[in-house]
Chain A
Amino acid sequence: MLKSSVEKNKTATIVSSSLEKNIAELKHIFADDGTIGMRQITNCHNNALKYCLVQNDGLVSAAITNANIIKPLIQSKGLLEYGQQIDPLIHQVILINQVKKTNQWQEIIQSVTYGDTILFIEGEMEVLILNSKGFNTRAISEPSGERVLSGPREGFCETLMMNLSMVRRRLRNHELKIKFRSMGTRTHTQVCICYIDTIVNKHVLAELNRRLDMIDIDGVLDTNYITELIRDSRLSPFRTTGYTERPDVVAGKLLEGRIALFVDGSPVALTLPYLFIENFQSNEDYYLSFFYTSFGRFLRICGFILSIMIPALYIVIVAFDREILPTTLLVNIAKERLGVPLPAVLEAFVMLILFDVLKETGIRLPSGIGQALSIVGALVIGQAAVSAKLVAAPMIIVIAVTAVTGLLVPRMDAPIIYIRLLLLALSSAMGLLGFIAGVTIIIIHLLNLHSFGIPQFIPASSLKYQEVKDTFFRGPWWKMLNRPAALTRNKKRMSRGDKE
């Protein structure tokens, strides 16, 4: 509706000096839109000074409008003259922190729908955009997806400026650059790119801007819209860009030479370039003792490997290469498999998919039903299926270990599900050979992954001490002298007056 009316009036992109005409145009543009309010006022000392305020109800603060706009406009005396009042209004009358002149209808529409007040002035070719935003936002809280035991608990919310303020507070430095741009032909979403000028890799920045320029989409409701449009290897299940809901994480990434991208309306910030090891890093790694967190990091890497391999290896061992097992274990497994109708492979597929079903229901379930689900999941599927000889007990153990280890790395959700099934399928067709072929394919794929021109596997393929200190384990802070070399030319992290 809006778009078509603008298109119909393509000639009227510029405001007129007549208040009457402008109001008519406005009514035309915002036809059938009850939220747009217009308020016409006249100066009480000079009846020639006529104004019209246009606002979107619910987005503006009434207190600001009344005290800082309407009151001075009505009461000002002697300062304003018909036909020459734009500058005196800005400088001497209106008590608003951000004021902008424009004569473009397009800009007016975007501002009004973002909570600004538009001041139309009789006899002027330009209007004023006054910052009067006063909409409600969610309170700052800890993001549920990235909880920490100790460390900062602030999380982003849906308001871009608030998010940026949280980052800015952590990096009080003129080198932090924050650049805005607008995305989405219909949503006109504010998108913001942050980086630290002296550390960032300029090639990556240029590449990011190039890719952003190429985006053609009507709406951007969350960061993931942008992510999928600008990422490398779009068909790979592995992540090639990072995400976080925490300002401390963003600050940390910026300090390592990465770029952060915020989208207004989304609490998720995008970080790039993204190295493979970041899948296993957690901000808490840096807030707790490095002894403890190094072990955690190691567990997460093992968890990933186990979670993708265990069902496939179980099939390999049980159905192909039984001689790997000690006889006692073989007999025990065989004993349990006795009388189970499904072959082990089908059993594995069914149970894996069943687990994913349980997981998927659990995520979006109202919290009250969760308990019922866990009873059904644990009791019916675990206990009853085994005693009814529908599923062998070792398979339940295998699935349980797979599931638990998979939860160690929530960032690897998508690749884990697909690779697990791929390896399982290959293993059940060709045994250990298929398994090894599958692992080879995955490794080749991983080594081919890039993120904005930077190979994702870099620290693993070039073994230098300064490069591995934050990979398989988390080195202590006094040992992490350099930034990851792949990300930046400005390597020294710890040097006074970080200037190149």
Chain B
Amino acid sequence: MIAIKRWIGSLLIVVLCLPLSGCWDYRGLNKISIVTGVAIDRQEESRRYHLTIETIDFSAAGKESAGKPQIVETEGTTIYDAVRNAKKRLAKKLYFGDIKVIVISSQIAREEGINSVLDWFLRDIELRQTATPIISQEKTAKEILTANGVDDKIISEEIEKMIDDDKKNTASTKKVASYQVFDVLQGDKETSLLLPAIHCIPNQEKKVVELNGVAVFKEDKLQGYLSPEETHYYLFGADEIAGGIITFPFAKQESRNQDNFSLEITNNKTKKSYTYDGNRIKVLFDIKTAAYLGEAGTELDDLKMDTLEKIRSTAALTLTQKIENVIKKGQLELGCDIFGVGTMIHKSDPALWYKLRDNWAYYVQTIEVEIRPELVILNTGMTK
């Protein structure tokens, strides 16, 4: 009897686990079409969503290549409707589990906000929440997905790799996953949302895509863009930089012509702190940067300690100015709290935040900043 009870008990444990999960279904790999990217536009006349879906066509692929891109276009009153409508043109079912990018047209982002567009991508179970939303600076988002990739035939994969690697190389855009968009938009909206921006440029007579800084949002509406260079210095302030170059003009002697120097950033740590005097908020940026001298103009022989010190201070000054410019642009031109000062206050002093919250748009514009760069040049690269 006890044995039977034990059996029933353990069986119950197993069976009761089953409804705890989500859905399951058996679907063979040859019945699905793998979606890598989606571009979302608004159809001019019908005002319906126009989706450009990139899938992988592996039937055409030979032994060497992984597959060719295949484009499916579809329309619908909602995103979900449009996705379902695509099945009318396809034998296989679209599978969104491996989606890399969601390209949203700037027109939708500016006029309607991205909330309604991204909702389905966050809500549907099949989708992976790490897909990267991107703002297209072209007239339509479709142009991005139909452009040519330089080293990857599948453009969505190329875009995703470019954005992933950007942090360590050029540091000129910011990777944001779709779940992070959700976090920002569903939060207290104290911080602006930034999404990577992308545009098309000609390269060897072909149209290719290029990352072009970030798009700045107020709540879910597009306010404007930061150029790649501005984004680079924004990332310094936001403590999100892991590489890239600082360039600045420098003359070794007063009489000489100025040369352009490059410092390669190896390590950076930025600490933000704020003070509030009852009227204004003052934010202090403590920036600690370590860099190599990457390129030193024409004169190679003459890097004495004092010259190096001069290079260092010039670079630090450049850094300060550029970061200040970005902050100014954010505050005044876009009216956005791009550095997340609101979040910082909210976390450390909630009472203060609830006081400031209602007039936050005003406070954002009056924030004073002080930047204290601490730049170290680790080596000159000339020991070879």
Contact = CB atoms under 8 A, between A and B. Distances in A.
Interface of A: 318-320, 322-323, 325, 327-328, 330-335, 337-340, 343-345, 428, 430-433, 436-437, 440-441, 444, 448
B10 A322 contact: no
B66 A332 contact: yes
B120 interface: no
Given A318-B29, A327-B157, A437 B98 contact: no
Nearest to A325: B98
A51 B353 CA distance: 119
A338 B17 CA distance: 35
Nearest to B3: A448
Contacts of B15: 437
Contacts of A440: 13-14, 17
B97 to A, nearest CB: 4
B30 interface: yes
B98 A327 contact: yes
Contacts of B18: 430, 433, 437
B17 A323 contact: no
Nearest to A438: B14
B30 A337 contact: yes
Contact of A431 (B26, B32, B59): B26
A338 B59 contact: yes
A331 B66 contact: yes
Most B Cβ at <10 Å: residue of A323, A345, A440, A441:
A323
Contacts of B67: 331, 335
Given A436-B17, A441-B10, A448-B6, 16 more contacts: A322-B95, A327-B56, A327-B157, A330-B29, A330-B34, A330-B98, A331-B34, A332-B66, A334-B29, A334-B30, A337-B28, A338-B59, A343-B28, A344-B29, A431-B26, A440-B13
Nearest to B11: A441
Interface in B183-199: none
B24 A430 contact: yes
A337 B29 contact: yes
Interface in B55-71: 56, 58-59, 61, 66-67
Nearest to B23: A431
Contacts of B36: 327
Interface string B27-39: 1111010101000
6 contacts: A320-B26, A322-B32, A322-B97, A327-B100, A430-B24, A433-B24
A431 B24 contact: yes
A342 to B, nearest CB: 9
Contacts of A327: 34, 36, 56, 98, 100, 157
B128 interface: yes
B302 interface: no
B58 A338 contact: yes
Give 8 nearest A-B pairs by CB, closest first. A323-B97, A335-B58, A431-B24, A334-B29, A337-B29, A327-B98, A444-B10, A437-B14
B128 A339 contact: no
Most B Cβ at <10 Å: residue of A333, A335, A430, A440:
A335
Contacts of B111: none
Chain B interface residue number, banded: 20 to 34
Interface string B47-60: 00000000010110
B21 interface: yes
B21 A433 contact: yes
A324 B24 CA distance: 14
A290 B251 CA distance: 67
A334 B34 contact: yes
A431 B27 CA distance: 10
B25 interface: yes
Interface of B: 6, 10, 13-15, 17-18, 21, 24-30, 32, 34, 36, 56, 58-59, 61, 66-67, 95, 97-98, 100, 128, 157
A432 B22 CA distance: 11
Contacts of B6: 448
A322 B98 contact: yes
A319 B98 contact: no
Nearest to A439: B14
Contacts of A430: 18, 24
B293 to A, nearest CB: 38
Given A328-B66, A335-B67, A320 B24 contact: yes
A333 B29 CA distance: 8
B30 to A, nearest CB: 5
B164 to A, nearest CB: 13
B34 to A, nearest CB: 6
Contact of A340 (B30, B58, B61, B66): B30
Nearest to A441: B14
A345 to B, nearest CB: 7
Contacts of A340: 30
Nearest to B126: A323
A343 B98 CA distance: 21
Contacts of A319: 26-29
Contacts of A436: 17
A337 B32 CA distance: 11
A81 B3 CA distance: 70
Most B Cβ at <10 Å: residue of A319, A331, A432, A444:
A331
Nearest to A333: B29
A437 B10 CA distance: 11
Nearest to B6: A448
A168 to B, nearest CB: 42
Contact of A345 (B10, B26, B61, B100): B26
Given A323-B128, A436-B17, A331 B58 contact: yes
Contacts of B26: 319-320, 343, 345, 428, 431
A330 B100 CA distance: 14
B24 to A, nearest CB: 4
B97 A334 contact: no
A337 B34 CA distance: 14
A325 B95 CA distance: 13
Contacts of A433: 17-18, 21, 24
Nearest to A427: B26
A194 to B, nearest CB: 33
Contacts of A432: 21, 24
Contacts of A322: 29, 32, 95, 97-98
B5 to A, nearest CB: 13
Contacts of A334: 29-30, 32, 34, 58
Contact of B25 (A320, A330, A333): A320
A323 B127 CA distance: 9
Nearest to A317: B29
A5 B98 CA distance: 81
B29 A339 contact: no
B124 to A, nearest CB: 12
A496 B29 CA distance: 66
Nearest to A347: B28
B91 to A, nearest CB: 12
